[in-house]
A and B are shown apart, each in its own frame.
Chain A
Amino acid sequence: MSFALPAFWKRHKPLLLAFVLAVATTGFFAVKLVIATVYWSDPAHRDQHIEGWMTPGYIAHSWNVPPEVIGTELGLQPGGTPKRITLDDIARERGVAVDTLIQQIEAAIAASRGRN
C-alpha cells in the first residue's frame, strides 16, 4: 500500500490532515469520557450544586427532599409566590446575595437529611 510514499502524502494532503484531525477528536472524547466516568463514580461528586437559575421546587426534587424543607427555609408561603421563581429572583427581591440563600438551603437540606 502506498501510505508510506511521500507522493501519496503530497497528493492527498487535505484528506490525510482531515483524517488525523478526526482521529484526534475521537481520542479527545474517548479520554474525556473516561475522565468523566472516573470523576462521577465518586459519590461525593454526585449531588448537583445549587445554582441561581434553579427554582425551590427544582432543588427539592433534585436533592430528593420534601419541597416544604426549601419553602420553609426561604419563608415562602405555599401558593404565595409565583410557582416559577428562581433563587436569583428571590435574592434580588430581598436584596441578599444568592450565595447566602444557597448556603442557607444547603444547611436546611443537611439538617433535613440528618433527621431521617
Chain B
Amino acid sequence: MTDWLFTLVPIYGAWIIALATYLSCLAIPMPSSFLMLAGGAFVASGDLALSSVVLGAFGGAILGDQTGYVLGRKGGNFLARGAKRGGKRRALIVRARAFLDRWGVLSVFLSRWLFSPLGPYINFLGGAGGLRWSGFTLGSLTGESVWVVLYVGLGYTFSGQIAQVAEFAGDIAGLLAGLVVTFGLGAMLLRAARRHDRRVKAKSETA
C-alpha cells in the first residue's frame, strides 16, 4: 500500500500529498510524514515545484483539521448529554473543558508537529470539548505551518536519506507523544491516589 502511494507522488504530486495529510488529520493511518519528505526530495531533484508540494500538504492538513473539529463538535452532543446525567463522567468532562479553556490553543499547536500522533484526537476533542473555533483555527494554522515546513524541509535537505529521516522522525514523534500521555495519565493517577488517601483517612477517623 505504501509503495503504491509512492508511485503516485511524482505523477500526481501535490494532490496525493494533500489527500494523505487530509486523511491523517482524521486518525486514518497514512504515511503523510513520509509523503511530505518524499515531496521535499522530489522538489530537490527538480521533479516537483516547491509551491505545489507546500500548498498541497498545508491545504490538506488545514481542511483535515477543520473536518475533525466539526465531527468532534457534532459528536460532542453525546458528551454534553452524558454530563447532564452527572456523576463521575460529569466531573471528567468539566475538568477537560477547563483544561481546553486554558491550554487548548497550545495543545492544538504542539499536537500538529511536536506530538503529531496525538493531532487527530485533539481535533475531535477540541470540537467535542467546546474549544472556540477561532482558537482552534489559530493553533491549526500555526502548527500545520511548522509541520509542513519541517517535513518538506527535511525531505529537501536529506533527499538522499528520506527512509532514515522518516524512521527517526516517526520514532521521535511516537516517543514524545508517548511521554506526554504517560505524564498526563500519571498526573491523573497521582491525583486519584491522593483523593483515595484522603477518603481512607476520613473513614478511619469517623470509625
Contact = CB atoms under 8 A, between A and B. Distances in A.
B45 A19 contact: no
A26 B171 CA distance: 10
A26 B7 CA distance: 32
Interface stretch (B21-29, B94-102, B142-150, B181-189): B181-189
B181 to A, nearest CB: 4
Given A19-B186, A19-B189, A48-B161, A33 B172 contact: yes
Nearest to A62: B160
Nearest to A23: B182
A3 B192 CA distance: 10
Contacts of B174: 25, 28-29, 32
Chain B interface residue number, banded: 35 or more
Given A26-B178, A29-B178, A57-B46, A15 B7 contact: no
Contacts of B42: 55, 58
A2 interface: yes
30 contacts: A1-B197, A2-B196, A7-B196, A8-B192, A12-B192, A15-B188, A19-B182, A22-B185, A25-B174, A25-B178, A29-B171, A32-B174, A36-B168, A40-B167, A48-B160, A53-B3, A53-B6, A53-B7, A53-B9, A55-B45, A58-B159, A61-B44, A61-B45, A83-B47, A84-B13, A84-B47, A84-B48, A86-B7, A86-B10, A86-B11
Interface in A21-55: 22-23, 25-30, 32-33, 36-37, 40, 46-49, 51-55
Interface string A79-99: 000011010100000000000
Contacts of A86: 7, 10-11
B190 to A, nearest CB: 8
Nearest to B5: A53
Interface in B145-175: 159-164, 167-168, 171-172, 174-175
Given A15-B188, A57-B46, A64-B160, A30 B175 contact: yes
Contacts of B175: 26, 29-30, 33
B193 A2 contact: yes
A30 B179 CA distance: 10
Contacts of B11: 84, 86
Contacts of A63: 160
A16 interface: yes
B41 interface: yes
B200 interface: yes
